[in-house]
Amino acid sequence: MEKGFQAHTKRFCFLFCILSFAALGALGATPLSVTSPDGNLTVTFELKTNPQPYLPGMRAYYRVSYKGQTVLKDSPLGLDFKDQAALDHGFEIIGSQRASHDTTWTDSLGAVRSVRDHYSELTVSLRESLVPGRRLDLIFRAYNSGIAFRYSLPRQNGLDKFTLSSEDTGFYFPGNPSAFALNLGSYNTSYEGEFQPVTLDQIKPTSIIGIPLLVHMPDGPWVAILEADLDDYAGMFLGGVRGIPGALKSKLSPLPGHSDEAVISSTPKDSPWDVVMVNSTPGGLIQSDALILNLNPPSALSDPSWIKPGKAAWDWWSGSYASGVNFKPGMNTATMEHYIDFASKAHFRYMLIDAGWSPRDDITRTVPSIDMPAILAYAKQRNVRILLWMYWSAVDKQMDKAFPLFEKWGVAGVKIDFMNRNDQEMVNFYHRTVKATAAHHLVVDFHGAYPPDGLRRTYPNLLTREGVMGMEYNKWSRRETPEHLTTIPFTRMLAGPMDYTPGCFNNATREQFQPRQIQPMCQGTRANQLAMYVAYLSPLEMVSDYPEDLIGQPGFEFLKKVPTVWDGTRVLNGEPSKYVTIARRQGGDWYLGSMTNWTPRDLDVPLSFLGPGKWDAKIFADGPNADKNAKDLSIRAKQVTAGDTLPLHLASGGGAAVIFSRAK
């Protein structure tokens, strides 16, 4: 009797489990979707039976389509915890909510002044169908320019504190698309490298790919993977998925010395936003950079009026060099005052004093050769503000003492360098730093940094950051090629402003170029360098060369006038690693920057972005001998209208920069 009862019970439990999973399957068979306001982008969530028999129950997937074409096929979602089971299967839907949002806010420090924040939102609430019944919310947003999603762990028993090892977030592309990938090889990185053309099957499970990642689908749209609102969390990288050529999986930056620990936290907890930008053209992605800002909280500063963008003279690029001066160039008071004089004459807002002004580990005092009170007084008399460079480790130890001191001295801001990580501890350092600098009216430039995630919306004193292989690499390598220069607007710059540090006037052709530390050269033409001030976005922009190489030289007129923040932006043409043309507006004037790789190029640029009436165009273009003398610059004036097309000839490694003003 007992054996018969046990057998009956086992059969009942077996049938109950089958019926339960069948019921869950019926629930999971009903997809939940949210579509962008313009109707072009749709992200769909669905519970499906897990294909792995060792993970029973329903698994969460999402997929993305653009104008009816699949961009991401079913891609898995889930979280892996240390010392407890993964939260990635056995789900049931316990609720869903929909919302929409449409507001406009002002960004006075970016590429577009009036920013529309317009999206549709879907929140799906999940629970494990079996004990312990942990809960997880998935939040999806659909914008016209892309989709975003995040994990949200509600406060709950049994998951009050946790250690996250990794995320099981997939980005499964159909087929095997091509991409421009930054293969870093390590989680300890400054993100300074080339975005190499690859197909997705070349990205291995062991690869550590930095974001943004740019993907081009065959005969389809361009797609970029990024993240936003990275706060008290680990930064994301990407790797391949074994056996699936077009599939990628997220990787979280581990805490130092703990390969199985990425995020130590407690509930409630939101992850950063994973972002998938989509557009029919690569230039359209550039115009979508406000998406990253919109995914961050509004400004935390009640009065940001003290935050000023602008250009900066800079002593580091040229090394200890100056010509025609009566002092020995170097890290000394006389050299700094020389650069301040230059900044004042050029009407630059800032002068950046780079490495060496203080002991490495003590930023509260100067080296003997620097008289900081005298330098600051000299700069104040000439209406120039001072920025100071420093190691992050010194800032980490001394910010509570140093930042109030800098404010007392009258320093305008700080350039903080060599973080080279984006684990949870380092991300928290960034947040502590921008809060502390804001409290003491200091602007910030992060170098040796991970790419932007939109934090500058919340703390607009964060003007710019590096996270890019910048012009400095010309001092010791040949890596800073025009191919790289025409790739980064479509890759790294999608995340936000980049301190590339342009302004080299010692221009060289491919054959003439030689890496060197003193009086360094740069690859490409003079017009190519001028174009960077429009094509590259950075509210704080360096003018890198030494004063004597700039003053009175052809093209310096453009550097003095070009703004660093904009009211509007139009990408007129371009293809990654080949060429790009961008027009930006400030007030009533338009500026245009066009760049090409080593291939000479003739472009016919439509001027339809201009308003009605006649416009005076001042054109700084490659001269007739620029292919042999990269400094050769042609400067001419022309009157145009919005109905005209502007022909531009770009030499090898060349460019063009144009100022459009309404005709008087």
Helices (H), 459-611: 482-485, 526-535, 556-561
Looking at every residue in the chain, the average pLDDT score rounds to: 94
- Looking at the DSSP bridge assignments, the partners of residue 121 are 99, 141
> Is the pLDDT at 17 greater than 80, yes or no?
no
Q: For residue 128, which amino acid is it?
A: E
Average confidence (pLDDT) over 607-632: 98
Q: Is the distance from CB of 429 to CB of 418 less than 8 angstroms?
A: no
Q: Are residues 229 and 289 in the same domain?
A: yes
Structure letter (DSSP) for residue 629: -
The reported pLDDT for the residue numbered 19 is: 35
Q: Report CA-CA distances (Å) from 252 to 231, 242, 258.
A: 13, 18, 12
**Mean pLDDT confidence for 344-360:** 98
The CA distance from 589 to 663, in Å, is 11
Q: In this structure, what token pair is assigned to residue 266?
A: 């407690």
pLDDT tens-place string over residues 150-186? 999 999 988 999 999 999 999 999 999 999 999 999 9
476/606 same-domain check: yes
Amino acid at 659: I
Evaluate whether residue 443 is within a structural domain: yes
Together in a domain, 271 and 194? yes
Residue 654 within a domain? yes
CA dist 247 to 169, 170, 199, 250, 271, Å? 11, 7, 11, 10, 22
Statement to judge: residues 569 and 443 lie in one domain: no
Q: Render 209-227 in DSSP notation, one character per residue.
A: EEEEEEEE-TTS-EEEEEE
Distances (CA, A) of 244 to 70, 106, 615: 17, 43, 54
Given a cut of 70, whether residue 2 has pLDDT beyond it is: no
pLDDT of residue 29: 56
pLDDT, residue 30, reads: 87
Cα 621 to Cα 649: distance, rounded to the nearest angstrom: 8
The confidence score (pLDDT) of residue 586 equals: 98
How would residue 637 be classed by pLDDT, with cut points 50, 70 and 90?
A: very high
pLDDT at 591: 99
Are 98 and 197 contained in the same domain? yes
Give residue for tokens 């305008």.
Answer: 412
Q: State the DSSP code for 644.
A: -
What local confidence, expressed as pLDDT, does residue 27 receive? 44
DSSP string, 356-388: TSS-TT-TTS--TT--HHHHHHHHHHTT-EEEE
Residue (of 387, 395, 322) closest to 363 by Cα position: 395
- Name the one residue in this structure whose structure tokens are 């199985």: 260
pLDDT at 13: 38
End residue of a domain, out of 259, 294, 329: 294
Q: Which of 450, 467, 484 is the last residue of a domain?
A: 467
390 and 342 in a common domain: yes
Counting residues of the chain whose pLDDT is more than 70, the rounded percentage is: 95
First to last CA, the chain: 105
Pair 493, 602 in one domain: yes
Return the structure tokens found at 146: 């892309």
Q: pLDDT by residue (tens digit) across 75-122?
A: 999 999 999 999 999 999 999 999 999 999 999 999 999 999 999 999
| Residue among 466, 476, 488, 477 at smallest CA distance from 389 | 466
In-domain check, residue 289 = yes
For 573, the token pair is: 């043409």
Q: Which residues pair with 46 in a beta bridge?
A: 61
Domains contained in the chain, number: 3
The CATH number of the domain holding residue 142 is 2.70.98.10
pLDDT grade, residue 288 (50/70/90)? confident
Res. 553: pLDDT tops 80: yes
Q: What is the pLDDT of residues 189-242, one digit of tens each?
A: 999 999 999 999 999 999 999 999 999 999 899 999 999 999 999 999 999 999
Which range (276-280, 315-319, 576-580, 647-651) has the least confidence? 315-319
- Look at residue 632 and tell me if it is in a domain: yes
Question: What mean pLDDT comes out for the span 570-584?
Answer: 98
Q: Torsions phi, psi of 624, nearest 5? A: -65, -20
Asked which of 414, 441, 467 is the last residue of a domain, the reply is 467
pLDDT at 246 over 70: yes
pTM over 0.75: yes
Q: Based on the fold, state whether residues 512 and 376 are members of the same structural domain.
A: no
Question: In the structure encoding, which two tokens stand for residue 43, read together?
Answer: 């992200």
Q: How far apart are CA 175 and CA 179, in angstroms?
A: 13
β 462-465/507-508 pair status: unpaired
**pLDDT (average), residues 240-256:** 97
Q: What is the CA radius of gyration of the chain?
A: 27
Amino acid present at 77: L
Q: How far apart, in whole angstroms, are the C-alpha atoms of residue 585 and residue 439?
A: 32
543: phi then psi, degrees, rounded to nearest 5: -120, 100
Task: Give the model's pLDDT for residue 64.
Answer: 98
Q: Is residue 1 part of a domain?
A: no
Question: Is residue 21 in some structural domain?
Answer: no
Q: Are residues 224 and 324 in the same domain?
A: no
CA dihedral of 517, 520, 524, 529, whole degrees rounded to 10: 120
**Residue 608 CB coordination number (10 Å):** 12
Can you tell me which residue has the tokens 């930064």?
A: 235
Question: CA–CA separation, 135 vs 333, rounded Å?
Answer: 61
Q: What is the pLDDT of residue 53?
A: 61
Q: Residue 122, by phi and psi: left (phi above 0), alpha (psi -120 to 50) or beta?
A: beta
Q: Are residues 371 and 334 in the same domain?
A: yes
Q: Is the per-residue pLDDT at 516 higher than 50?
A: yes
Residue 558 lies in a domain: no
What's the pLDDT band for 12 if we cut at 50, 70, 90? very low
Residue type, 470: G
Average pLDDT, integer, range 467-495: 98
CB of 416 closer than 8 Å to CB of 392: yes
Rounded distance between C-alpha atoms, residue 385 and residue 654, angstroms: 33
Helix H or strand E encompassing 436? helix 424-439
Using CA atoms, how far apart are residues 595 and 501, in angstroms rounded to an integer?
16
438 in any annotated domain: yes
Cα–Cα distance between 276 and 449 in angstroms, integer?
22
Q: Are 409 and 370 in contact (CB under 8 A)?
A: no
DSSP 454: S
Mean pLDDT of 511-522: 96
- For 89, 324, 338, 533, the CA distances from 546, given in Å and listed in that order, are 60, 12, 10, 17
CB 170 within 8 A of CB 76: yes
| 156 and 257 assigned to the same domain | yes
Give me the residue label for tokens 């299967």: 89
Judge whether residue 25 has pLDDT over 80: no
Judge if 161 and 192 occupy the same domain. yes
* DSSP H/E element including 72: strand 69-76
- Whether the Cβ atoms of residue 116 and residue 102 lie closer than 8 Å to each other: yes
Distance CA 329, CA 161 (A): 56
Mean pLDDT score, 273-286: 98
Q: Which domain holds residue 273?
A: 31-294
CATH at 597? 3.20.20.70
pLDDT (mean) for 430-439: 98
**Contact by Cβ (8 Å): 86, 168:** yes
Q: Tell me how long the chain is.
A: 664
Closest CA to 23 of 49, 44, 46: 49
Task: Enumerate the β-bridge partners of residue 571.
Answer: 582
